[in-house]
């Protein structure tokens, strides 16, 4: 049986057992989100390994290309470079542009997944930034300030929303995130 399907079946079983017990809506939502996160992690891990093996196979195939073809392509590229005229240089701009921080390029674990500590650290950075600004912010604004990308922050933000540490308003690109007024005094 496929490992992802067995994990999915296990998650469904656990959810049905847990649904038999009385709980409030917030607990139920948190459990559903946690189960979905676990399933997503497993599926990403499975397909990530599959993609890595395909890339490895393709790169091995490229490395085994005949050397005569590679040298021929190199010679054609050199001829094109000789024919092109030098491009005029751009005048330097005296105004200093505001440049966003570059997204972090820290290496992930061998599985390609971030640990729970890394996710918690990113979540804490988001909460700290939103408390500091005391305003509703879009994900692009948070990314610019923290030097991250949207995919890096979506899982921590989903966890924060599920736990109630932050709230959101709006949909799609107009979604803004903020810290509830009750949490600002902490």
User: In the predicted model, is pLDDT for residue 51 greater than 70?
Assistant: yes
Q: Which residues pair with 169 in a beta bridge?
A: 176
Average pLDDT over residues 11-36: 72
State the residue for tokens 């949207």: 150
Whole-number pLDDT of residue 160: 92
pTM listed for this prediction: 0.42
Architecture of domain 114-186: Orthogonal Bundle (1.10)
User: In the predicted model, is pLDDT for residue 98 greater than 90?
Assistant: no
CA distances from 37 to 8, 108, 136 (A): 11, 18, 26
CA-CA-CA-CA torsion for 170, 171, 175, 178, nearest 10 degrees?
Answer: 50
Burial class from Cβ neighbours inside 10 Å (0-12, 13-18, 19+) for residue 183 reads: middle
User: In the predicted model, is pLDDT for residue 69 greater than 80?
Assistant: no
Q: Which of 24, 45, 42 is nearest to 34 (CA)?
A: 42
User: In the predicted model, is pLDDT for residue 167 greater than 80?
Assistant: yes
Q: What pLDDT digit, counting tens, does each position of 77-96 carry?
A: 666 656 555 555 555 555 55
């Amino acid at each position: 049986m496929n490992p992802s399907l067995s994990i999915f079946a296990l998650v469904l079983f656990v959810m049905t057992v847990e649904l038999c017990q009385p709980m409030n809506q917030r607990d139920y939502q948190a459990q559903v989100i946690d189960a979905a996160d676990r399933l997503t992690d497993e599926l990403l891990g499975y397909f990530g390994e599959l993609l890595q093996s395909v890339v490895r196979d393709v790169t091995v195939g490229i490395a085994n290309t005949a050397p005569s073809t590679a040298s021929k392509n190199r010679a054609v590229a050199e001829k094109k470079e000789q024919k092109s005229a030098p491009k005029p240089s751009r005048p330097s701009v005296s105004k200093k542009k505001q440049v966003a921080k570059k997204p972090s390029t820290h290496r992930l674990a061998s599985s390609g997944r971030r640990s729970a500590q890394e996710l918690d650290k990113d979540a804490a950075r988001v909460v700290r930034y939103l408390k500091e600004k005391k305003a509703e912010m879009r994900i692009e604004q948070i990314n610019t300030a923290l030097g991250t990308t949207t995919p890096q922050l979506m899982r921590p933000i989903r966890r924060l929303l599920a736990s109630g540490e932050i709230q959101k308003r709006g949909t799609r690109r107009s979604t803004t995130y903020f810290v509830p007024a009750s949490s600002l005094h902490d």
